């Protein structure tokens, strides 16, 4: 992986206002946008996002002058949460840590699909996010492999593509998706 000019945690931090009331509005907009994108995809209404956040449309545009800036910030915020999750689970047993992180990754995929529709895969933000995610999650697979509980004939990209493919499939409900993911992960696990 090559270094990128955008540390992903700074993408959100540099855009976040310093005043407490403005920061609250900013955070509410990100949360509302994440929910709206998960429900309606990239075409979610900006007016609906502002309404969900409890702010006016002018506040949304003051924080995110373009729709693209909103998409980038929501995407980077999701990746930051995914990176924090890797740290939070790191002290668990290797297989449990990997599975816990992959479960968090499936939630991230919902937002990712909607936001990536609107962003170019070659953008600096997408590259920084991918690099940060690989840096945070990759060691979890490596640790599971070193412990003899995960296949060694695969790499982190293989694993993420498998999980991403599962999450892209339409399921009756989350329970069915989780069951299919569990079946797939049984194929990754060794030494059972």
pTM of the model: 0.80
Judged by DSSP in three states, 99 sits in helix
Question: What was the pLDDT predicted at 111?
Answer: 62
Q: Would residue 144 count as lying in a domain?
A: yes
- Domain of 24, CATH number, reads 1.10.357.10
Q: Would residue 192 count as lying in a domain?
A: no
Number of domains in the chain: 1
Q: Would residue 112 count as lying in a domain?
A: yes
* Residue-wise pLDDT tens digits, 39-56: 888 888 999 999 999 999
Whole-angstrom distance, CA of residue 62 vs CA of residue 185: 44
Q: Would residue 41 count as lying in a domain?
A: yes
> Cα-flanking dihedrals φ and ψ of residue 171, to 5°?
-120, 160
* Residue-wise pLDDT tens digits, 144-159: 999 999 999 999 999 9
Q: Would residue 191 count as lying in a domain?
A: no
Range of the domain at 56: 8-186
Q: Which residue has the tokens 């892209």?
A: 168
Q: Would residue 1 count as lying in a domain?
A: no
Q: Would residue 57 count as lying in a domain?
A: yes
Give the count of alpha carbons within 13 A of 176, CB side only. 5
Inter-CA distances, 185 with 18, 85, 89, 108, 162, Å: 43, 19, 17, 18, 9
Q: Would residue 152 count as lying in a domain?
A: yes
What percentage of the chain has pLDDT greater than the value 90? 47
């Amino acid at each position: 992986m090559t270094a990128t000019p955008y540390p992903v945690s700074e993408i959100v931090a540099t855009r976040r206002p310093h005043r407490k009331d403005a920061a609250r509005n900013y955070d509410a907009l990100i949360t509302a946008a994440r929910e709206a994108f998960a429900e309606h995809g990239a075409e979610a209404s900006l007016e609906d996002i502002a309404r969900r956040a409890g702010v006016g449309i002018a506040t949304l545009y003051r924080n995110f002058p373009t729709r693209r800036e909103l998409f980038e910030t929501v995407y980077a915020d999701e990746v930051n949460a995914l990176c924090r999750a890797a740290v939070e689970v790191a002290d668990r047993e290797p297989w449990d840590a990997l599975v816990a992180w992959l479960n968090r990754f499936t939630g991230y995929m919902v937002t990712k699909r909607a936001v990536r529709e609107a962003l170019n895969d070659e953008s600096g933000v997408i590259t920084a996010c991918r690099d940060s995610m690989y840096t945070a999650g990759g060691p979890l697979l490596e640790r599971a492999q070193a412990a003899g509980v995960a296949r060694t004939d695969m790499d982190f990209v293989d694993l993420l593509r498998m999980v991403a493919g599962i999450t892209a499939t339409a399921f009756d409900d989350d329970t069915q998706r989780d069951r299919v993911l569990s079946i797939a992960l049984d194929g990754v696990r060794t030494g059972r």
